[in-house]
Amino acid sequence: MKIKIIKVNDKMQKGYSYELTESMGKNFDSKFKPELTPKEMLALGVFGGRYMRDCTKEFPASWFKKAKFHPKNTPGYSVELNYFKIDASQPLKVWKRKGWINPEDPRGWFQWYCRYYMGRRIPQEDKKQIGRWNSFKRHLGAVKKNCKQKDFECRPKQRQALLHWAYDSKNI
């Protein structure tokens, strides 16, 4: 594969660039098996439709054809756009305070995942983010243990949070 350079100039990152060293959606770490692609997540409804509205040029246009976005130039987000119609997010300031934001991905885990999916690799950061993804799996077990299959009234916040982490909680 020929290495491709992606240049980023959006609301949260100016003058940043990164290399795509893997083919899109291929050659993931063996410990990382997301159940949803970024395109699928955006179409299902995640993050109240607020996430990534100003950086669509960085990613394939096909990812955004069915994406559920909160109206541009409008403050806040739209919980009703989330698949489970519930807020399952923490504010970015919480993520920053807990040290979960790295300079390469100022929007957090989902931005990291989108770029990883595209083919960017940053070994140390990838290991950290994959570890965070694996630790989030405990919520999958809690939903399976406490809910009847497809009982979306049971633990909807956990189900929505799982979607935010590329786990397909609509089938459990």
pLDDT of residue 43: 96
Query: How far is 115 from 22, CA to CA, in rounded Å?
Result: 11
For the chain, what's the residue count?
Answer: 172
Q: Which positions of the chain have pLDDT values less than 50?
A: none
Q: Cβ–Cβ contacts within 10 Å for residue 4, how many?
A: 12
pLDDT of residue 5: 97
Whole-prediction pTM = 0.94
pLDDT of residue 167: 96
Query: How far is 66 from 43, CA to CA, in rounded Å?
Result: 5
- Cα-to-chain-centroid distance, residue 154: 23
Taking only the tens place, the pLDDT of each residue in 39-72 is 999 999 999 998 888 889 999 999 999 999 998 8
Query: How far is 35 from 56, CA to CA, in rounded Å?
Result: 22
Which residue type does 148 have? K
Residue by residue, DSSP assigns 87-141 as -----HHHHHHTT--BTTBTT-HHHHHHHHHHT---HHHHHHHHHHHHHHTHHHH
